[in-house]
Structure formats: structure tokens, C-alpha cells
Amino acid sequence: MLEHPSIQTKGKVYLVGAGPGDPDLLTVKAARTLGFADLVLHDALVSAEVLALVSPEAQVINVGKRCGKKSISQEEINALLVRYATAGKTVIRLKSGDPSIFGRVGEELDDLREAGIQVEIVPGITASLAAAARVQASLTDRRTADQLLFISAHRKTGKDTFDWRAVVTSRTTVVIYMPGEYAGVAEDLRRAGLSGSTPCAIVSRVSSPEERCHQTTLELLAKAPILPSPCVLIVGKTLAEAASTEIRSLRQQNIPPPRDFLHPSESAV
């Protein structure tokens, strides 16, 4: 149960998932917290439509990091959370997607716990789930995929190269956040043993008006168009019918399929 700030004697921090952008994909609990915040610290990727739900009395600060450019460091964000909560404020740290998936929530939790601040995590819909829904694919399937791997291609400087072979099998659905150049990913997955015919889907800015999708195979992934960030790359057998199913549905309605959403058997250029 959410506590209204009027009955709190100390400040509290809510680590809230803003979802992929469409305010309809917010949880009810997330929307409610936005209505009674004193302060909202939000990521750059949080949509204007979601921010419109913030209480008009609340102070709103953009603490986002985009394209490697940092307007504020993670340590400074942590300090702000502690400072305002210690002063008795109800603080929302609003993160795109889900806070616990590539959202640095662990670092914020550490500082808040050390300061004795009450904290609550409000989950959100992460981009991979929204992307899978967009292409009408199941991320797992008892017939073809019983393992799901979330990984970020954007890694901390100095971190060792990821050992794909140790975790990826033909029954793994791989979801890569911030995939960057696709050629390296494709090469790594091929070396790990995945077939070149393994289906792939790239979904950019899912649930937003600028959303774009492209479906290909692992063999042709290096030639796929680089779609705008943020995007996710999904690789796995469960995608085999995803695009073709949607294209068939569109054609039944006499609607031409989007140019950026074509099955590998069709021309994308």
C-alpha cells in the first residue's frame, strides 16, 4: 500500500518505473505516486506524457544521461535523493522502463539504505516486454525457448568481454539493450553457436509516435538499418512468425505493412 505523504513523519523515496513512454503502459501504482510527489528526479527518456502526470506542486528535475553526455553524475543524483528525503520530502526517482533493469537502482539503494531512508520500488514495463508485444512475439515458448537473457551492449569501461558461449543456447531468447553496431553482436552470437537463420527484431522507441521496427536474421543483421536510440534487439526462435503474423493481419485489412517492419523473406530496401 502506498503511504500518502501527509501521514509520513520522515521523507521517503520511490524508485518508479515510467515504462517505455506511453502513459497507458504505466502501472496504476506508478501513476498514483506521481500525483503526490514533492520532488521528481527523472531520466531523459521519460516521456512528456508521463511527466504531465506529476503533481503541479512538485519540483521536477531532469537528471538524464544521453549519448554519453552527463548533466549530473550518479553520485550527485544519489546525494539529491538522500538530501531531499532527509528533509522530509516525498521523492520520486522516475526511471524509463523498469528501475531494476539497467537502471542503476542498486547504486541508489545502497546510498539510501546507508542514510536510513525509507525506500520503495514501483516496477515498470521494461522496453523488451513492450517490444515483444509490439511484434506479437512470446519471449519464451515451451516448444522453442526456455531461457531468457537480458543484456546491455553498453558496458562499463574496462569490463571484460561477455562470454556468450557460456550462457546462450539455441533455446535462448536474447534481448540486447543499447545494441549499438549490430555486426559485433551478430558475430558474437554466431560464434556462440546460434544459426545464421535465427530471427532477429530491432525495435526503436517502442510505444512512442517515433516507433520503428525491423525484422531480419542473424546472418543479415550486420546489414540492418541502425535505428534511433533507445532501441532493443531481440534474437531467438520465438520471433520466427512475429512479423509475418502482423503483416498477414495488415494485408487482410488491405493495409500495406510499414517499410521498416518487413519479414526477412521480403525486401526491406
State the catalytic residues. 43, 65
- Spatial distance between the Cα atoms of 209 and 165, rounded to a whole number of angstroms: 37
CA max distance for the chain: 62
- Asked if 181 and 226 count as a contact pair (C-beta separation under 8 A), the reply is yes
**Which residue, 220, 207, 210, is CA-closest to 135?**
207
Q: How many of the other CB atoms lie within 10 Å of CB of 101?
A: 19
C-alpha cell of residue 263:
519479414
Q: Quickly list DSSP for 78-129.
A: HHHHHHHHHTT-EEEEEESB-TTSSS-HHHHHHHHHHTT-EEEEE----HHH
- Spatial distance between the Cα atoms of 147 and 193, rounded to a whole number of angstroms: 15
